[in-house]
Amino acid sequence: MELGYLGPIGSFSYMGASYYAPEDVLVAKNTFREIIKAVEEGNLEKGILPIENSTEGVVTQVVDGLMDTDTIKIQGELILKIHHHLLSVGKEVEELLYVLSHPQALHQCREYFAKNYPNITLLPCESTSQACEIAREKGKEYGAIANSWCAEKKGLRVIHSNIQDNLHNQTRFIIIGRKETMVTGKDKTSIAFSFHEDYPGNLYRVLKEFAEERVNLTRIESRPAKTELGKYIFYIDFHGHQRDIKSIKVLNNIEKITNKLKIFGSYPVGEIV
């Protein structure tokens, strides 16, 4: 099978894809939306996307992109421990004027630079591996935030190790495809919903459905609906498969009290690697 990831080779998405599907053919894409579109249109069988980070929270480009899909299902998840290193062709951090990386990586290391190297300019690019390629080409005044694999494979030195602000930094990746998964007995389901209008108790009524069936929630958050101020879409992950008896009852009741209910899919609970 082919699995799309945010490339080039060496990005954290690449590392996650390698762990999740070592036998698959990995296909590099330039943006998250390219991956989503390719899977939606059937040009890729699967894709891997970072959906949330323990430091920075939800990856907005991914959740917003998934809301616009019709056929995509979440089929799996993987939690990857994230270790960010400062890399360069030079030997000293004092030589650096610019440091590049994916915006998520820059955010996850911003306190490190603000405290230790406030004069270094942080520049966003498409991926951590692309940052390494640019840093190598530009010379010792340029650095990159990336993993140790990139340092080894792209000819850069590790100047400082583990510069992430959160030493327990983790990113949760989801695997998307076009088919629903079977019940395993250890599953999770992801949904999104919105309301007809803003009314006191709307969200409570939804949460009450889960509480009454003793269904455990693992994530709840909101995103602007992008229609007008005050309109939001709510995202919930909960334990259980959408085909479970409890889940069917909860989802049927939620559908009655919401304007739109989108079920992204049910999938086995992922491992931490």
pLDDT of residue 200: 80
**Helices 60-67, 32-40: inter-axial angle, 10-degree rounding:** 20
Q: What is the CATH number of the domain that holds 11?
A: 3.40.190.10
Consecutive H or E run containing 29: strand 25-29
- Which residue shows structure tokens 């479970």? 244
pLDDT in tens, 52-84: 988 888 998 999 999 989 999 999 999 999 999
The verdict on 53 and 90 lying in the same domain is no
The verdict on 219 and 99 lying in the same domain is no
CA dihedral 239→62→108→27, nearest 10 degrees, is 100
For 95, which DSSP code? G
List alpha helices for 29-176, DSSP H.
32-40, 60-67, 103-108, 110-116, 128-138, 148-153
pLDDT of residue 84: 94
The span from the CA of 254 to the CA of 250, in Å, is 6
The verdict on 37 and 102 lying in the same domain is no
- Residue 272 domain flag: no
- Residue 183 domain flag: no
The pTM of this model reads 0.85
DSSP-derived pairing of the beta strands 46-53 and 57-58 = antiparallel
pLDDT of residue 268: 97
pLDDT of residue 244: 96
pLDDT in tens, 160-192: 999 999 888 899 999 999 999 999 999 999 999
The verdict on 207 and 260 lying in the same domain is yes
The verdict on 73 and 115 lying in the same domain is no
Count of structural domains, the chain: 3
pLDDT of residue 228: 66
Per-10-residue mean pLDDT, the chain, length 273 = 88 90 92 96 96 88 92 96 93 94 93 96 91 93 91 88 91 96 96 87 94 96 78 94 97 95 97 89
pLDDT of residue 230: 65
- Residue 139 domain flag: yes
Q: What is the CATH number of the domain that holds 247?
A: 3.30.70.260
The span from the CA of 243 to the CA of 228, in Å, is 34
